[in-house]
Amino acid sequence: MPPFVHAHASHCESGVMSSLVRHHGLPMSEAMAFGLASAILFAYLPFMRINGLPLVAYRIAPRGIIRRLNKDLGFGMRFERFRDPAEGTRRLDQLLDEGKLVGLQTSVFWLPYFPPDLRFHFNAHNLLVYGREGDEYLISDPVAESVVRCARADLEKARFAKGMLAPKGLLYYATGKPSSPDWAKLGKRALGRAADTMLRTPLPFVGVRGIRMLAWQVGRLADDAHARLYVGNIVRMQEEIGTGGAGFRFLYASFLQELAERTGYRPLEGLAAQLVEVGDRWREFALAAARMIRGRDKFDSRALAGQLRALAGDEKKFFGELDAAQRAWAC
Amino acid sequence: MRERDVPQEGNATLAGNRKAVYAVADDGKVRLVASRGWEVEEIVTRQAVQDLERLAQDARARALAGLTSPLEVHMYRARMDLALLSQTTGLWRWRIRRHFRPQVFARLSPALRQRYADALGLTPEALGRID
């Protein structure tokens, strides 16, 4: 097995998976991993609350990228969970001694190398462990620019954090080699799946309908401290927690370009350019919201709701055209 | 977002780190660019941090006045709320709320103290102190 090479990525799970697949011999960019797993999404989840504020997700549920890529590329990913933290740490050490590259789900709050202001109780962070030196683990955290180290006790605490999306010590590793796939076939299916989720999920809080539902909620906000926290939370989920909404749109655009190049299916290039513009509009929404939170502009929940409704329209148009392009793709 | 528009505003919440973002380069390709941060992110992150700091300060003032126990202060300092502390310790919320009463907290068994200390990443001694 060649030595492990760290790569900076914008999202933890796609970063971990692309690194892992590359390490096992198949070249794969973060964007490709993200796109092939149809990881792009919008979901407004008012029943899942962190510190009293609703969860807004811009990508599929944790472990979705790992599971889907594993299925499509067939490299025998094993998942293990532990009831006892000591047992989880022992098993991690054992796998590392065998020379395995091990993925972990952790909380970000208990990872000491994270910037203090970004340490919240978010339990679905992913990272890779590629070695150990005494009581320190050698970690490739895709959202960090270079590799980091973490002490045994800290990593154990981060792996066994409790609460929503508790990782329960989850670790995963490949047992086989990923096969080189039929990119056109996988790509077409991945596009169809993404469009389907965004346009036709029969739940009012997922996809384009989810954006509308959020717009409706934002439009009802009064002008008070809670409203500012609520809107700030949407933007924070969008921009700060795992790349966020606009970031995921740019990442997916990169995937469309790469897929077009690899398969020669040109219509995807136009769609990529269109999605970059949608991403820019998400950023405009974030900027407008931040200015209101800071008091540079008057707080105007209706204006923000209007921006969100326009975004719902943009995304409906984009995913509709993506779906059409995918159907017209003969492969 | 064009590559030259990628914010490099030295976001304080990143503590000197750079995050990877994707942007359109001059040749039209979307590529990964390292960013020093965007003020918008800083505003919303600071807002969330400050809200928890405000809750901790408020609890501290009440603890010093004998109206609540140090447990509530440490809960907010660990960026938790009642729901999360309940999930982390496996104790019912009403029990934790009862432990917010200084008289009840003072009589807490060593086992329970240890449980709270583990959940909050403190030593049992530090759990009883506020500074």
The per-residue pLDDT for range A124-158, each reduced to its tens digit, is 899 999 999 999 999 999 999 999 999 999 999 99
pLDDT digits (tens, 9 = 90+) for B32-81: 998 888 888 888 889 999 999 999 999 999 999 999 999 999 999 999 99
Residues B33 and B46 in one domain: no
CA A309, B11, A115, A35 dihedral sign is positive
Do B23 and B70 belong together in one domain?
A: no
Tell me: do A169 and A278 sit in the same domain.
no
Specify whether B86 is located in the same domain as B26: no
Predicted confidence at residue A275, as pLDDT, reads: 96
B96: distance to nearest CA of chain A, Å? 16
Q: In this structure, what token pair is assigned to residue A19? A: 């690194």
- How far apart CA A314 and CA A211 sit, in angstroms, is 11
Q: Is A123 in the same domain as A220?
A: no
Indicate the residue of B22, B24, B83 with minimum beta-carbon distance to A10. B22
How far is it, in rounded angstroms, from Cα A72 to Cα B106? 57
Residue A36 lies in a domain: yes
pLDDT of residue A245: 61
Task: Give whole-number Cα distances, A43 to A33, A207, B96, in Å.
Answer: 20, 6, 32
Domain boundary among A108, A140, A174: A174
A133 and A230 together in one domain? no
Instruction: Please state, rounded to an integer, the average pLDDT across all residues of chain A.
Output: 92
CATH classification of the domain holding A140: 3.90.70.10
The ipTM value here is 0.90
Q: Does B3 touch chain A (CB under 8 A)?
A: no
Q: State whether A190 and A266 are in the same domain.
A: yes
What's this model's pTM, rounded to 2 decimal places? Answer: 0.92
How is residue A320 annotated by DSSP?
H
Give the residue-averaged pLDDT of A172-192.
93
Report the domain count for chain A: 2
pLDDT in tens, A258-306: 999 999 999 999 999 999 999 999 999 999 999 999 989 999 999 999 9
Residues B74 and B120 in one domain: yes
Q: Is residue A134 domain-resident?
A: yes
Assess whether pLDDT exceeds 80 at residue A242.
Answer: no
Residue A165's nearest CA partner among A94, A108, A204 is A108
Range of the domain at B15: 3-37
User: For chain A, first and last CA: distance in Å?
Assistant: 35
Q: Are residues A109 and A234 in the same domain?
A: no
Q: pLDDT of A57-112, one tens digit each?
A: 888 888 999 999 999 998 899 999 999 999 999 999 999 999 999 999 999 999 99
Question: Mutual orientation of helices B39-64 and B70-77 as an angle, nearest 10°?
Answer: 170
Distance (Å, whole) CA A224 – CA A209: 26
Say what the pLDDT of residue A244 is.
Answer: 54
Reported confidence tier of residue A240, pLDDT bands at 50, 70, 90: low
What pLDDT does A34 receive? Answer: 95
From B43, B84, B88, residue closest to A290, measured CB to CB? B43
Task: Show which of A174, A207, A222 is a domain's final residue.
Answer: A174
The packing angle between helices A208-219 and A301-328, to 10°, is: 180
Domain that holds residue A157: 12-174
End-of-domain residue from the set A128, A147, A174: A174
What proportion of chain A, given as a percentage, has pLDDT over 70? 98
Model pLDDT, residue A278: 95
B32 and B68 share one domain: no
**B31 and B55: one domain?**
no
- Cα A279 from chain centre: 15
Run of H or E including A216 = helix A208-219
Residue of B nearest to A48 (CA): B83
Pair (A146, A245) in one structural domain = no
* pLDDT reported for residue B112: 96
Q: Are residues A33 and A81 in the same domain?
A: yes
Find the mean pLDDT for residues B12-33: 89
Q: For residue A103, what are its two tokens?
A: 């993925």
**Which chain A residues touch B79 with a CB distance below 8 Å?**
51, 109, 119-121
Nearest chain A alpha carbon to B23: A250
| A37 lies within 8 A of chain B by CB | no
Mean pLDDT of chain B: 92
**Is B67 found in the same domain as B19?**
no
Residue keyed to tokens 């609350």: A49
CB contact at 8 A, A39 and A60 = yes
Q: Map residue B65 onto helix, strand or coil.
A: coil
